[in-house]
C-alpha cells in the first residue's frame, strides 16, 4: 500500500487540466475528485446538495470549486458548464457520477412511476445533458475524456431495482453511441460498470447484507474506493487513447463480457 501511495504521488497526469465531476461531493464521485486533484487537475464539482461544499473546498485548498447544479435541468446544466469554461478556459475531463437508486426491493409493477422517472432523469438524462454542453468545448480543443458511471446492474439487471437497472443500461447504450459519434475527434467517451464498492454507506450496513451483495462476486468482496478511483483515472487520462464507446468492468469477476 505504501508503494501504491508513493506511486500516485509521483503521477501528475492531469497537470493543467480542468475536470468536471457530477455527484462529486460524496461516495464514488468524491473518490474520483480526490484522485484527479492528487494528479494535478483543477476540479469543479456539480452537486445537488451543497451541505458538503465548504468542507470539500477547504480540504483541497482552492483546487476544487463546488457548484449547486441540478443535472436534470437543462438550463442549469448549460449555464454551469459555461461558467466552468469561462473560469478555466477549457474542459479536459467530464465524469458523470451523479445518480440515485430510487425505490428498491419492489416488484416492477409496484414502483411509483414518478420515482421511475426521477431515476431515469438523474442517471441517464443528467449524464446526457452535461455531456451535451461539454462536448462542443472538447471539440474545439480536439481533446477530451468523458466517463459515464454505469453499474453491473445495467449489464445484468438487479431484481427489485427496475429503474436503476434500466437507467444504467441506458447509460451503457448512450456511451456506445457517443463513443462512435466522436471517435475521430480526439475525444474518448467510455463507461465504468462497478459492482458494489465499499463506500461509507456500505460500511454502515449489517454484515449479512454486505455478504448478500457480494455473494455473486467471485472474489467474494466489495471493491474499494481506491480501486474504483484508480481505474476511473486511467480511463480519463491521455494514456487511454485507443478505447472509446466501451464499458469497463469493475466487478470482481461477476461480469466478464
Measure the CA–CA gap between 160 and 104, rounded to whole angstroms.
Answer: 5
In angstroms, what CA-CA distances link 22 with 31, 68, 222, 252?
12, 10, 23, 25
Q: For residue 178, give the C-alpha cell.
A: 457517443
Which single residue is written with the C-alpha cell 453499474?
Answer: 151
Is 182 annotated in the active site? no
Q: Which of 3, 133, 143, 164 is catalytic?
A: 164
Q: For residue 198, give the C-alpha cell.
A: 465499499
CA atoms 101, 151, 27, 62: torsion sign: negative
Measure the CA–CA gap between 200 and 53, rounded to whole angstroms.
Answer: 18
CB-CB contact of 172 with 191 (8 Å): yes
Strands 93-96 and 64-68: unpaired
Task: For the sheet with 93-96, list strands across it.
Answer: 64-68, 42-47, 18-22, 93-96, 144-149, 187-194, 247-250
Measure the CA–CA gap between 237 and 157, rounded to whole angstroms.
Answer: 29
Residue ranges of alpha helices (H) inside 124-183 are 126-141, 152-156, 162-181
Cα maximum dimension of the chain = 52
Checking phi first, is residue 241 left (phi over 0); if not, alpha (psi -120 to 50) or beta?
Answer: alpha
User: Which positions are annotated as active-site residues?
Assistant: 164
Amino acid at each position: 500500500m505504501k508503494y501504491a501511495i508513493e506511486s500516485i504521488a509521483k503521477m501528475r497526469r492531469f497537470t493543467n487540466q480542468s475536470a468536471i465531476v457530477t455527484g462529486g461531493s460524496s461516495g464514488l464521485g468524491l473518490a474520483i475528485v480526490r484522485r484527479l486533484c492528487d494528479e494535478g487537475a483543477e476540479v469543479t464539482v456539480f452537486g445537488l446538495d451543497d451541505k458538503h461544499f465548504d468542507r470539500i473546498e477547504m480540504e483541497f485548498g482552492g483546487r476544487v470549486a463546488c457548484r449547486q447544479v441540478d443535472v436534470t435541468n437543462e438550463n442549469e446544466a448549460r449555464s454551469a458548464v459555461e461558467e466552468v469554461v469561462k473560469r478555466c478556459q477549457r474542459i479536459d475531463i467530464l465524469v458523470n457520477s451523479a445518480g440515485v437508486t430510487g425505490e428498491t426491493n419492489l416488484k416492477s409493477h409496484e414502483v411509483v412511476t414518478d420515482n421511475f422517472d426521477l431515476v431515469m432523469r438523474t442517471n441517464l438524462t443528467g449524464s446526457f445533458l452535461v455531456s451535451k454542453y461539454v462536448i462542443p468545448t472538447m471539440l474545439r480543443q480536439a481533446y477530451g475524456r468523458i466517463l459515464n458511471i454505469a453499474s453491473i446492474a445495467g449489464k445484468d439487471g438487479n431484481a427489485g431495482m427496475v429503474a436503476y437497472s434500466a437507467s444504467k443500461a441506458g447509460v451503457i447504450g448512450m456511451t456506445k453511441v457517443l463513443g462512435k459519434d466522436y471517435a475521430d475527434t480526439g475525444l474518448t467517451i467510455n463507461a465504468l460498470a462497478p459492482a458494489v464498492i465499499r463506500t461509507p454507506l456500505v460500511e454502515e450496513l449489517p454484515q449479512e447484507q454486505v455478504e448478500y451483495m457480494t455473494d455473486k462476486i467471485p472474489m467474494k468482496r466489495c471493491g474499494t474506493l481506491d480501486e474504483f478511483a484508480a481505474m476511473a483515472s486511467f480511463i480519463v487520462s491521455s494514456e487511454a487513447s485507443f478505447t472509446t464507446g466501451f464499458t469497463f468492468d469493475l466487478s470482481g469477476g461477476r461480469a466478464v463480457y
